Amino acid sequence: MIVISSILLLFYVSLILAYFIAWKKIPNFKINETIMHQTFSILVAMRNEEAVVANCLASITNQHFPSSAFELIIIDDYSTDQTSSKVTAFIRAHPHHNIRLLQMQNDPLKGRKKKAAITFGISQAKHKYIILTDADCVRGKNWLNTINSFINQTQSKMVYAPVLFKANTLFEKLQSLEFAGLVAIGGAAIESKNPNMCSASNLIFEKDVFYEVNGYAGSENIASGDDEYLLHKVFKKHPNNIHFLKHRDAIVTTAANTTIDELINQRKRWVSKSTKYDNIYITAILIAAYLFNLSILLNLLINTEIGLVFLGIKSLIEGIFLYDVLKFFKRKTYILFLPLAEPFHILYVLIIGIWANIGTYNWKGRDLT
């Protein structure tokens, strides 16, 4: 038991250390003033978002960027609340912006779920670059200008930009701590040319590239993964033209979950796609990380002292990595929550890892698998 646990510990420490080094290697982007404006189609696929949609749209239309250089496309995925009415009212109040509301009822393919909504939106997009974001996201006024400058300098085919959980309560801050680490791991993996995860809350790519890789073909029936499956497909075609945008002005902020039930359903949605990756490297890492967490729990139950040593080493290496990540997000004090987060995180990884693959989960009023 100790030998196997030690091997898993060595693997995990090496993995986090590799992510830390790769994260440090990502250059902090420096914006160059430019008069060259790329053109963007910003897509927001939404369902039952009446409470947050106005803030999202306002944060986009308030950009320090020429309104003629971007359009905003909202795709209503069969909302059962007042989402469409809120969007329509916003469009009327902002006649000088190019904003369109699409209804999935009018999709020629009559698709459902988020991938179908995004595909429909892209088919109607007029500009070279697509930006995916979510209805519960807001951003600063220099967001689009930062993305534009980054693309001008890198000529990227796909860009993953940072996402931060807004947090007020302790529960939300624990989620924000974890999610900051996940975002950084996604960026570090892209830097290492072994991309694993990203978020469609802040994802940019060329429209032509979407069609070059045949969009979401092959994963249409999987409810989640509109971000990561696309990332993996684009990487196969353009391994040197995918980058992480490391700049605070590129951050979008989204809401953390307010209840345990919301958290469980979100994490089940995230984890459910992990068993369907066609990349053996990613699958092997996920399995090994799961077994490492399991080994810590078993050691705590069988030999508490050894279990605590393994837990302490895990916390130390994660703390070193996370502290640097939190500095980027200007959330350094969140590192104080790590000792509290560690034991709960191990249990939640073990439970969700199994639960997500044996049942359904509810998302936006839909039962999904």
Query: Is residue 137 located within the same domain as residue 79?
Result: yes
Query: Is residue 296 located within the same domain as residue 254?
Result: no
Q: Which pLDDT score is estimated for 224?
A: 64
Q: Print burial letters for 28-66: b (CB count within 10 Å at least 16), e (below 16).
A: ebebeeeeebbebbbbbbbbbbbebbbebbebbbebebe
Residue 203 — φ and ψ, nearest 5°? Answer: -125, 130
Query: Is residue 178 located within the same domain as residue 263?
Result: yes
Q: Which pLDDT score is estimated for 283?
A: 84
- Among the candidates 213, 245, 275, a domain finishes at 275
Q: Which amino acid is at 303?
A: N
What total number of domains does the chain contain? 2
Q: For residue 140, what are the domain limits?
A: 28-275
**Cα–Cα distance between 56 and 43 in angstroms, integer?**
12
Query: Is residue 69 located within the same domain as residue 141?
Result: yes
Candidates 118, 129, 114; CA nearest to 161 is: 129
Q: Which pLDDT score is estimated for 222?
A: 67
Q: Which pLDDT score is estimated for 152?
A: 95
Query: Is residue 240 located within the same domain as residue 327?
Result: no
In the chain, which residues have pLDDT < 70?
108-112, 220-226, 272-277, 356-369
pTM of the shown model: 0.92
Candidates 178, 136, 228; CA nearest to 337 is: 178
Tell me which residue has tokens 């936006």.
Answer: 364
Q: Are 254 and 134 in contact (CB under 8 A)?
A: yes
Residue 132 belongs to a domain with what CATH number?
Answer: 3.90.550.10
Tell me which residue has tokens 């992480």.
Answer: 244
Query: Is residue 226 located within the same domain as residue 294?
Result: no
Query: Is residue 131 located within the same domain as residue 47?
Result: yes
